[in-house]
């Protein structure tokens, strides 16, 4: 008590700092700011798509992630393994998972609910989508490919089982670190995002 009583200036300064900190808004997570209409606008820009063989792509990712060649380029210089996807309507979203698992954290269910709302909107009902998982270039390359596929599968399962999106409209693909969202920065958090890609017109 004596320390504070003798230094009123410091108390005032401390109080002012605490007040200033309290007034600084917490940074908004992109998933909390996610809006259904933004998803609709982004994914409805579909004109046509190449014939995408998801099963073959999964196999290619698995095989390339096992590469041990000394001449293999670093992540930022690898050519995209699924370049056709780059030209399709895509919506990227931060989904939180438990560390190194495909378990979706509870705080991400609101974002997934808004995506589900968008997918059943009249503008998107005619389309089929690909859920694409990514992992930043840390750790073992092969493990990253597997984890990204399990996470893409998990998002598809949540949309189908929890939000009742038709399973016929959704496929899943994990690209691991074989096609980074931000190739110039292989370990950046953006490379953990999930992407929803419009891949087909079904009706």
Q: Which tens digits make up the pLDDT trace of 50-91?
A: 889 999 999 999 999 998 888 889 999 999 999 999 999 999
Q: Residue 59, SS3? A: helix
In a domain, 164, yes or no: yes
Task: Give the model's pLDDT for residue 202.
Answer: 87
Looking at the DSSP assignment, which residues form a beta bridge with residue 195?
A: 92, 132
CB 34 within 8 A of CB 93: yes
Q: Which tens digits make up the pLDDT trace of 135-162?
A: 999 999 999 999 999 999 999 999 999 9
**pLDDT at 36 > cutoff 70:** yes
**pLDDT at 5 > cutoff 90:** no
In a domain, 141, yes or no: yes
CB 152 within 8 A of CB 171: no
Q: Residue 94, SS3? A: coil
Eight-class DSSP state of 99:
T
Task: Give the model's pLDDT for residue 16.
Answer: 46
In a domain, 125, yes or no: yes
Task: Label residue 49 by pLDDT band (50, 70, 90).
Answer: confident
| The model's pTM | 0.82
In a domain, 137, yes or no: yes
Look up the CATH number of the domain holding residue 115: 3.30.1330.60
In a domain, 193, yes or no: yes
In a domain, 159, yes or no: yes
In a domain, 196, yes or no: yes
Domains of the chain: total = 1
Task: Give the model's pLDDT for residue 99.
Answer: 93
Pairing of strands 194-201, 127-133: antiparallel
Task: Give the model's pLDDT for residue 15.
Answer: 46
Range of the domain at 132: 29-201
In a domain, 3, yes or no: no
């Amino acid at each position: 008590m004596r320390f504070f009583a003798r230094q009123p200036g410091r108390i005032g300064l401390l109080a002012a700092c605490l007040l200033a900190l309290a007034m600084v808004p917490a940074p908004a997570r992109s998933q909390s700011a996610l809006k259904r209409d933004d998803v609709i606008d982004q994914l409805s820009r579909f004109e046509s798509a190449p014939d995408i063989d998801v099963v073959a792509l999964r196999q290619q990712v698995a095989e390339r992630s096992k590469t041990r060649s000394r001449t293999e380029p670093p992540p930022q210089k690898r050519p995209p393994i699924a370049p056709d996807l780059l030209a399709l309507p895509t919506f990227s979203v931060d989904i939180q998972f438990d560390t190194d698992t495909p378990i979706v954290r509870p705080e991400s269910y609101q974002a997934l609910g808004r995506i589900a709302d968008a997918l059943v909107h009249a503008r998107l009902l005619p389309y089929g989508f690909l859920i694409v998982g990514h992992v930043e270039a840390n750790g073992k390359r092969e493990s990253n490919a597997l984890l990204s596929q399990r996470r893409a599968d998990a998002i598809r399962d949540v949309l189908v089982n929890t939000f009742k999106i038709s399973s016929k409209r959704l496929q899943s693909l994990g690209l691991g670190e074989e096609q980074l969202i931000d190739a110039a920065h292989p370990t950046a958090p953006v490379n953990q995002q999930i992407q929803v890609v419009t891949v087909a017109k079904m009706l």
